[in-house]
Amino acid sequence: MVTPILIRSFGRSGSTLMMQVLGSSENVLFDREYPFEKRYLTYLHRLSNVVNQPFADNDEWNADLLFESNNSMIGPFPYTETDLFDKNELPGVFLMRLWDGFSYQLIKFNSGKFDNSRPIYYAEKVAQDVCVDLNHFTSCKNLFLFRDPRDEFLSIKSFNHKRGFNGFDWSKDDTDESFARKLCSMRRSFMHHLLHIDNDDQRLVVFYERFIENPVGSTKLISDWLGIE
């Protein structure tokens, strides 16, 4: 079975660098396509949750569309009442089964490319909001990557200038000060969460600045945590 590595970070926090480091092992599977932002696991999570969304019964999605074989649209169950099963449990069940199938395909397609004597992983810059469900229904490795918000701010500003447009929630009305305040506000809960995390088999906190200061030692820490080189 393939174990997901959830890269839990924000933009300009070193997540692309972390994917490059993880990609130096053949036992960590993901598309080696810079900047490594194909989110297959996040997609599977979104797909599994469709089933339990509220049903609107409109022209975009309704029970009659089930008869159209070429219809590319799929929505929640178009039947609001049933005593046959518990709809609330289906998203978790679907997520586990989808991951089992995807994991099987990863191993089958990449057979011979990795060391079977070591653990096999799939790494992703995962969307933050899906992590709770992923950890509840699948066995995951959570790699928390944190960069000093002051440094992150400067990197975002420089990157926005280089691209010629603003991203990372920097709105057109933001000044340096207003965005800096907004950034700190957005990072506060994440920082508070990190304060209560002890590194264990499922969780590892990596600080970007410490990684840059000691890349060899930091990479060894990650290698030991994953059980691969």
Please give the structure tokens belonging to residue 148: 């000093």
Residue 212: its pLDDT value, please?
A: 95
Residue 60: its pLDDT value, please?
A: 85
Residue 70: its pLDDT value, please?
A: 85
Q: What is the pTM assigned to this prediction?
A: 0.91
Does residue 115 come out as left (phi exceeding 0), alpha (psi in the -120 to 50 range) or beta? Answer: beta
- SS3 call for 181: helix
Sheet holding 203-207, edge to edge: 28-29, 121-124, 3-8, 141-146, 203-207
Residue 183: its pLDDT value, please?
A: 92
Give the list of residues 6+ apart from residue 207 with CB closer than 8 angstroms, or none. 146, 147
Which of 144, 126, 228 is closest to 189 using CA atoms?
Answer: 144
Residue 213: its pLDDT value, please?
A: 97
Helices (H), the chain: 15-22, 40-50, 90-109, 131-137, 149-163, 176-195, 208-213, 215-226
Question: For the chain, which ranges sit under pLDDT 70?
Answer: none
Residue 225: its pLDDT value, please?
A: 98
Residue 224: its pLDDT value, please?
A: 97
Residue 137: its pLDDT value, please?
A: 87
